[in-house]
Amino acid sequence: MYAYGGPRKGADRAVLLAHGAGSDMHADTLTTVADALAGAGIPCLRFNYPYREAGRRAPDRAPVLEAATREAARELARRTGLPGERLVLGGRSMGGRYCSLVVGADSEPVPALGLALLGYPLHPPGKPERLRVEHFPRLSVPVLFVSGTRDALAGEEALKREAPAIPGKVSFHWLDTADHGFRPLKSSGLTREDVLADVAATVTRFVVGLPS
């Protein structure tokens, strides 16, 4: 259920990476980011949500996803010996969203050093009116949004319009011509590998730059 990488001791921060709805902890976005973090001496924990462990395609219900995210954060704290306040939580799409939900929970919020949201799904497919922003005003930690400029689930204009509700420091990194799956247009001259390398470098800079 868990994949842990990076130094076992001595780090003053660590990162939790949660997968998207249609993938698992072995998704190339997560492994590329995890490798970059390990290279910077930052421990990283990836994990599978219960439905993936059971071999199912449909995601678990919200309470199960939330509970699994909380448990994974506790597991990362246990493995690193770091307090929750030294952990950066994040991940792809659904996984990143649930990390933000537990950090911005109304009751018993999970402490964190920051949030790294890769392809944050601002709304469900085809339903731009159903914004997933209720918890934004409770996010007091630094938040990094990494999104493609063609992301159908979070347009650049819409995300920039909603993000100011977050009291924590917000930063954006836009992936030129990339869609929600981080696939760029051929006309951009970029490959998906180029985009993933950009994502990994951006997340690593964000994590390293957070306060000691």
pLDDT in tens, 158-180: 999 999 999 999 999 999 999 99
The parent domain of residue 36 ranges over 2-209
Token pair, residue 81, equals 């010996």
d(CA 166, CA 23): 28
Query: How many domains are contained in the chain?
Result: 1
Sheet holding 87-92, edge to edge: 2-5, 44-47, 14-18, 87-92, 114-118, 143-148, 170-175
User: 72: domain CATH number?
Assistant: 3.40.50.1820
46-91 pLDDT tens trace: 999 999 999 999 999 999 999 999 999 999 999 999 999 999 999 9
pTM score = 0.97
Which among 195, 139, 138, 128 is positioned nearest to 170, based on CA atoms? Answer: 139
